[in-house]
Amino acid sequence: MRQKKGLDLNRVVLLGRTFEEYVRFFGLKPNELRGKSVLDVAGGVSSFTAEANEHGINAVAFDRIYTMSHEVIRSRCEHDLEEVTRNIGNREVYRWDFYKSPEGMRDFRARAYRKFLGDFVSNRARYVAGELPNLPFQDQQFDLTLVSYLLFVYEDQLTSEFHKNSLRELMRVTRGEIRIYPTVTFEAEPSQYLARLRNDAEFSAWNFSEVETDFEFLRNSNRFLKIVRK
């Protein structure tokens, strides 16, 4: 069995990203999103929803962890962040241009989850609990739906059927476009599921395209998948 190049993750870890990181890896233009409805699927402990609302964006986050208390989430965040920071520095699949070092990455992750926790306590309605492939939202409810670091990256844990069923639901609740980042696995290799979904006859009413961004931490992750109705 070949040794993994990336982190050996046997579960989905709680690592939050900031608004700045979302803007970079999704190629977002915040001014154009003011007043728009945005769904952050598998938002976890990212601070995007909290910060987006401060920018006048009507953002909602969805994740299974929102059934937990903020004390339990905080404990898991600190554990997962320490574990990842300790093990990530010697992995060949990461580029350090943006974060500079594991400690620099840790600062972003800590800032994200602390901002999230404050908003989670004070604005709980923004955080909807649930689990893909089922979304408890109305048809075409959102102008933009975002999914980061869940689909494709956890390819070895989430099946092709799960990806297809999840994408079907994302399409149902989205009236504008869907953006998924990244399109590679944690081994920095192209996901085998992407071509299957792109060529699936069920999704023929949608255009799939990969859009380059100026952000690349996990190698080969300098693009997101953009899905829009034809």
Residue ranges and CATH numbers for the domains of the chain are: 19-229 (3.40.50.150)
Output phi, psi for 224, to 5 deg. Answer: -120, 160
Question: What pLDDT, on the 0 to 100 scale, is given for residue 90?
Answer: 65
Q: What is the mean pLDDT of residues 185-203?
A: 95
pLDDT exceeds 60 at position 223: yes
What is the secondary structure of 184-227 as a DSSP string?
B-TTS-B-HHHHHHHT-GGGTTEEEEEEE-S--SBTT--EEEEE
Mean pLDDT, all residues of the chain: 92
Q: What is the mean pLDDT of residues 87-108?
A: 87
Question: What pLDDT, on the 0 to 100 scale, is given for residue 191?
Answer: 96
pLDDT band at 6 (very low <50, low <70, confident <90, very high): very low
Strands 223-229 and 174-181: antiparallel
pLDDT exceeds 50 at position 141: yes
| E-assigned strand segments in the chain | 37-41, 58-63, 127-129, 142-148, 174-181, 206-212, 223-229
Residue 108: name the closest of 182, 17, 42 by CA. Answer: 17
pLDDT band at 60 (very low <50, low <70, confident <90, very high): very high
More confident residue, 89 or 57: 57
pLDDT exceeds 60 at position 3: no
